Amino acid sequence: MTYLADSEKLDKHKFVTYCFFKLPCFTRKVQRVSRESHNPRGRGRLRPCNGGFSLLELVLVMVIISVLMVFAISRLLSLMVDAERVTMETVAGTLRSAIGMKVAESIVKSKLSELPALAGSNPMALLAETPRNYLGELDGADPAKLEDGNWYFDKRGKALVYLVRNKVYFVGGLATPPRARFTVKLVYSDNNGNGVFDAGVDEVQGLRLGPVESYSWSRE
């Protein structure tokens, strides 16, 4: 803003002198303007702000933003891995519960002798509703041609297979592509110590769902 000075402040050239206040600048510094000017061409002329973003400041800001983006992306990937791990283990836990209910039913009905036939079977058949990412029972399917993040039952291998989506963070299992395999195993007392269930000799104790190959998840 500018204000017209009093008539007593007219200079000898009869030019009006303008008085200016300090104006704010976006860089939190002030614009400094001369209070009097005897130059008719230059009176009231504003001088530019005496501060601004230097090249060094811009570089520092860019470096800070880059570092924050790296941490944000790393955190996002960790959350994605945790989400997949929890989802996979939740499905496996649901299947274990269904198998446990089947064993309990067999005990109540005194039909433990029927449990050996369920070893190597498809545990998804025990669920009232299968997961949306379950592809069904496949015979000799090429896992490399199937979409990641899905389940399917391998009829030849008698194993329930999960195709890992975040492959870099999955350790163990089977490779190319990375996948985890689960199978229904018979639990029995090996009375003769031969490592094989023998009907009439070994006692049936139940069923359990276990991984065929050991695996783990990594966040690094």
Per-residue pLDDT of the chain (220 residues; tens, 9 = 90+): 444 444 444 444 444 444 444 445 444 444 444 444 444 454 445 455 555 678 888 888 888 888 888 877 777 778 888 999 999 999 999 999 999 999 999 999 999 989 999 999 999 999 999 999 999 999 989 999 999 999 999 999 999 999 999 998 999 999 989 999 999 999 999 888 888 898 888 999 999 999 999 999 987 6
Q: From CA 132, how far away is CA 111, in angstroms rounded?
A: 32
The count of domains in the chain is 2
Nearest to 85 by CA among 177, 159, 180: 180
Q: Are strands 170-172 and 179-189 parallel, antiparallel or unpaired?
A: unpaired
Q: Which residues of 93-104 are buried (b: 16+ CB within 10 A; e: fewer)?
A: eebbebbeebbe
Same domain, 169 and 107: yes
Distances in Å between the alpha carbon of 78 and those of 37, 71, 149? 65, 11, 16
Residues 74 and 127 in one domain: yes
Tell whether 37 and 74 lie within a shared domain: no
Question: Does 39 share its domain with 143?
Answer: no
Whether residue 63 is found in the same domain as residue 164:
yes
Residues 32 and 112 grouped into a single domain? no
Separate counts of helices (H) and strands (E) for the chain: 1, 11
140: left (phi over 0), alpha (psi -120 to 50) or beta: left
Regarding whether 37 and 73 lie in a shared domain, the answer is no
The reported pTM is: 0.69
> Do residue 86 and residue 115 come from a single domain?
yes
Q: Which domain holds residue 22?
A: 1-52
